[in-house]
Amino acid sequence: MKCERVQNWLENHGEEPLSQEWQELLIHSKGCFDCSLILKNRAGMFEAMKNLPPPEIPADLRQKISISIDLVKPEEDVDVKPSFVDNMVDFIIKPVQIALSIACLMMIVSIVNLRESPTKVGSPANIARIALKKPQTKPFKKSRFEPEDQLVKVTREDISDFMKKLQEYQRMHPEMNVSAQPVMPGELAVFGQTP
């Protein structure tokens, strides 16, 4: 199996000579044949690159660049005549836009006038309407604690029917049939209540 620790490091981080991990990889490469070969080949490649002459720039490079720039022409504005449909849409939409703008302005004016009208007395006709208007009185509402005019009469049969239904309910729900345990006087005080 080929060791690729140095190769992975170089691909991910490059050569970081100040890094502690790079120093550990150099120590590792002294004992690992694969990693030392990678570092040796890399050093040889850098030496060969130093001996290469600088690349020659072709004499016609500027001319080729300017020709390629000239070939790419910016899009010119072409006068496009609107189609029949575009003309019809403009013909319909412009008056609608104007009408909606006028309607919005009228709504704003009417809302402002409605807000200001309660503070103003208004015209004599409004004063007469207000003066002639009968005051509306709300009916007196009885308190829920006041007794009704007549008491409901309950017969013995009604009481026995109720008791049968209560016993049936208690039989169906035994968890509700818990006998009340006496409460000691101090227990309610713990919860902020007094007997």
Predicted local distance difference test score (pLDDT) of residue 27? 86
- How many structural domains does the chain have? 2
Residue 160 included in any domain: no
More confident residue, 157 or 71: 157
Q: Does residue 61 belong to any structural domain of this protein?
A: no
Domain-located, residue 142: no
SS3 labels along the chain:
CCCCHHHHHHHHHCCCCCCHHHHHHHHHHHHCHHHHHHHHHHHHHHHHHHHCCCCCCCCCHHHHHHHHHHHCCCCCCCCCCCCHHHHHHHHHHHHHHHHHHHHHHHHHHHHHHHHHHHHCCCCHHHHHHHHHCCCCCCCCCCCCCCCCCCCCCCCHHHHHHHHHHHHHHHHHCHHHCCCCCCCCHHHHHHCCCCC
Question: Does residue 6 register a pLDDT over 90?
Answer: no
Is residue 70 included in any domain, yes or no? no
Domain boundary among 74, 94, 120: 120
- Whether residue 88 has pLDDT greater than 80: yes
Q: Which of 25-39, 60-74, 148-162 has the lowest mean pLDDT?
A: 60-74
Q: What's residue 115's pLDDT?
A: 65
Q: Is residue 19 part of a domain?
A: yes
Q: Is residue 11 part of a domain?
A: yes
pTM of the model: 0.29
Domain hosting 104: range is 85-120
Is residue 148 situated within a structural domain? no
102: pLDDT confidence band, cut at 50, 70 and 90? very high
In a domain, 173, yes or no: no
